Amino acid sequence: MTTLPCACCRWTGIRISPERTGVFTSGRVWIVQGRRIALYFTGCKHAGENLAEVLKLRSPELPPMIQMCDALSRHVPKIVETLVANWNAHGRRNFVKVTANFPEPCRFVREAFREIYGYEAVTRKQGMSAEERLVFHPEHSKPVMEKLHTWLPAQFQERTVEPNSGLGQAISYLLNHWQKLTLFLEKAGVPLDNNIVTAANGSDDIGLNRCAVFGSWAIRRDQPAESRSAMAFL
């Protein structure tokens, strides 16, 4: 099984006018054989547009790269195909914000995510490969996610939650992006979130678009696609 490269994206920026004259900085951390290469782009382009410029250097014969980002459409390149996954941390955070008003249902969701992240911690502690992790998570995390996926729409069907409430909006976010949130159960190498990007780029107060690209690439003259594309931007 081939593990696809993965790009994690995070977007923040300063919007000055509706004509998009604001300045955005996109940061990318490329992981090549354990080494990290930081790349930054500053201008009017959003994260997805900057990512597209990088991915255009890849060979068209390569399969689409896995992209980890939030649900904003501006993260996704329009001219280059990627396999998009969304952050589970964002989905969980929506419930954390409304826990004070809806303690019991939020506790159920947060405990589900706690269990999933506990399994993720096991994969890291045991040093599992991407392929081993893809076997482990469907066995352990998939039943938890399926139970959660059954519970979420039932709250609307049983009229126990108002769709326009904070809890309803948190539930809708998970339902609307479920396939992208659970891509880690289907594809090798898909992370649960982009925490590695936040750690690499500093605090959330910095106005940067943050991206990280993961892959097991060797830098050789006879491999022009992945590694040499990354190095070309140094």
What pLDDT score does 10 carry? 52
List pLDDT tens digits, range 95-122: 999 999 999 999 999 999 999 999 999 9
Judged by average pLDDT, the poorest of 20-24, 83-87, 145-149 is 20-24
Which residue is it, tokens 């039943």? 143
Domain assignments of the chain as residue spans, ordered by start: 6-86+194-231, 88-185
List phi, psi (to 5°) of 93. -60, -35
The Cα 156–Cα 138 span in angstroms is: 27
Alpha-carbon distances of 50 from 54, 140, 144, rounded to whole Å:
7, 36, 36
Pairing between strand 24-32 and 35-43?
antiparallel
Tokens representing 100?
Answer: 């004070």
List pLDDT tens digits, range 38-56: 777 777 888 788 888 888 8
**Half-sphere exposure of residue 121: CA atoms within 13 angstroms, side-chain side:** 6
Burial class from Cβ neighbours inside 10 Å (0-12, 13-18, 19+) for residue 204 reads: exposed
List pLDDT tens digits, range 60-81: 888 887 887 778 777 788 878 8
Residues 226, 43: contact at Cβ < 8 Å? Answer: no
Residues 213, 6: contact at Cβ < 8 Å? Answer: yes
DSSP 76: S
Residues 181, 88: contact at Cβ < 8 Å? Answer: yes
